[in-house]
Structures are given as C-alpha cells and as structure tokens.
Chains A and B, each alone.
Chain A
C-alpha cells in the first residue's frame, strides 16, 4: 500500500526530468524548504491513512498551505536577513521523523499481526487435520 505513493513520487521525478524543470535559479533554497513541507504533509497523509483518520480535504489544503507557508517564511527570512528557512527545516524535519516513526510502527504491527494470523491459521488447520485423521481412524476401526 505504501509503495504506491513512492512509485508516484518516482513518476513525478521522471516527469520533471522529461520537462527539464530546473531553471529556478536563486529560489532553489525556498523550493527546497517547500519540498520539506510537502514531504511532511504526504507522510502525514500516509500516517492518517493507516490510522483510518484520513480526510481528503484536510490533506489537500494541508499540502498546499504548508508548502506555500514554508516558501513564504523562507522568502521573508531572506528579505529581513534572518535565516528563517532553518526554522522551517527544523520543524518540518521533526515532524517528518515523527510521522516516519509512526508509519514504521504501524507497518511493524501489521507485519506482526500477519505472522500471528498465519500461525493461528496453521494451528487451526493442524487441529482440523488431526481431528479428521482421528475421525477417519475411528471409522476405520468401526469397520473392522
């Protein structure tokens, strides 16, 4: 499930590569900060999807406003001579780590659940086999 957004991310890179989208010049730093904000929102979307709390409108508006605000803060910092993009990078970096750790826990828990489910199924299947075998034995004894 989580592989689909990653695949689309690669597709996005391929599209940008095909269109030669790299003439941003001096705004590179602001785009990078906006990238961090976007990454955080996408990871947050994945996390809320796993939590079952995903809401489409919240996610899309979050993506747009986060990137725009990050971009604007970086430009504001440039204009007033304070490296505000560091602040954005710090906050977004913390949130990215937070989201990633939650996603990791959910994935891990899913994996453990899957294993325990397999074990249970196997046990049940074994128990069924045993019972059917014993049943067959008993019928055979009955015939004798």
Chain B
C-alpha cells in the first residue's frame, strides 16, 4: 500500500471538504428533524402554527360566555313555560309533554344513577409510542356508541352533552366534541340503569377490553349512584330542515 503520509503535507483538500461537510451538516439536520416529524403532518407545523390551527376552531372565551348565556335563557324559558301552565290543566299537560321532549332532546340537565368511564393515555407507553397507547376520537366515539347501545339515557363527555346532532372528531392532539376541544383524561358520564350499563359495558369482547388491551389503566369504569349531565348548550335552530305539513302514508 502507498504510504499516504509522505504526501500528507499537501493539504489543499481540507478547505473544500470542510465547506461541503458544512452543507452536509445542514442537510443532515433537516433530514433528522423531518424524520422525527414524519409521524403526523400536524406535528410538522411549528408550535405556534399548531396553536393557531387548533384554536381557530373555536374562540374559547367567547364560546364560554355565549354558553352561559344560552344556559340562563333556556332556564328562563323553562320557568316561563311552567308559569304559563299554572293557569289551566290543558296547558300544564302540554307543558309536561314539552319538558319530556326537552329532556329527551338533551336541552335540560339530567340527574340519576349511572356509570362513569374515565379514559386516559397509556401512562406506561413504550419508547416507540405505539398507536394503541393513545386515546383516539374513534375510541371515544365507540365508547359513547356502546353506552347508548347499553341503554344510556344521557351522556356527557368532559361536560359536553351528546345530542342527536353531536359529532366527535380528531383535531391534532385534542378531540373535538361538537366543535369544543376536550382533552385527556376523558370523563364520560352516562345515566341509565346502572347494572345494565355496567354489565353491558364491561362484557368480554366489548370496546372496553379492546382499549384495555395495551394497559388496563387506560380505561376505568365506576358505578355512580347519582350523576348529573349538563344540558346541551349548542345551537338548536334548524336552518334547512322543516317538519313536512302533509304526512306521508
């Protein structure tokens, strides 16, 4: 082999090699970070952009103001309806029916026995951080579906009441229930017959055992003798749909 150290005093290679290795360093840095960020497009956004994206979904303070206003107005409407119905029997019967319909539609608070389901991300998640270690919108959705199937009469997710137009979807690191952000831990309250709800929800092969597969601590179910689910506070006016005047036979 040639002994290179006889000629090594010739060092003209050092400068160009050094400059291009600077370029190489820049490229490596770029590739490195994007490799980490590859998992989700959402995470390739800078933290500031992430905040803008998730908060542009809703102006939280304004929303809470409006919500409390809706709540007080709905309560006032209920008391007015009751005051009206004090006059005659016919009106009181009408009012009873109205209140039943409102309770069913989720426009009033409900109280009763039920179960409480708490979902959280896997506390002992592995280094790789598999997909199963996180609670996804689909998990919440299927839990709510399962609870309705087990006879739940009213369900709330972190204080958001589920009604017939409710939606549950994913928005990056948080989950939107009716357009409102909810985050870990997810507390799902369901009113209904305790034993039926609990038994149905915890059967083997149910959604619960699916989620508890990676770590049983991810889902906890407790029976509660008395829980309250709040009223639905979103918009209720129908814009496109209307009740047909002539019923089909």
Contact = CB atoms under 8 A, between A and B. Distances in A.
Interface of A: 1, 4-17, 20-25, 27-28, 31-32, 34-35, 38-39, 41-42, 45-46, 48-52, 54, 56, 59-60, 63, 67, 105-106, 109-110, 113
B24 A35 contact: yes
21 contacts: A1-B11, A5-B14, A5-B17, A8-B25, A9-B24, A13-B25, A17-B29, A25-B41, A28-B35, A28-B38, A34-B27, A41-B20, A42-B17, A42-B20, A49-B14, A54-B10, A56-B13, A59-B16, A63-B20, A110-B5, A113-B3
B22 interface: yes
Given A16-B29, A17-B29, A59-B16, A106 B37 contact: no
A52 B44 CA distance: 44
A50 B44 CA distance: 41
Contacts of A1: 8, 11, 14
Interface of B: 1-5, 7-8, 10-14, 16-31, 33-35, 37-38, 41, 44, 46
Chain A residues touching B, majority SS:
helix
A87 to B, nearest CB: 18
Contacts of A51: 2, 4, 7
A14 B22 CA distance: 9
Complex A-B, nearest 9 residue pairs according to Cβ-Cβ distance, in ascending order: A12-B25, A49-B13, A28-B34, A16-B29, A52-B7, A22-B33, A54-B13, A12-B22, A8-B18
B4 A52 contact: yes
B25 A11 contact: yes
A52 B23 CA distance: 23
Contact of B29 (A4, A22, A46, A60): A22
Given A4-B14, A35-B27, A15 B5 contact: no
A108 B7 CA distance: 16
A48 B4 CA distance: 10
A109 B5 contact: yes
A28 B29 CA distance: 11
Contact of B34 (A8, A22, A48, A109): A22
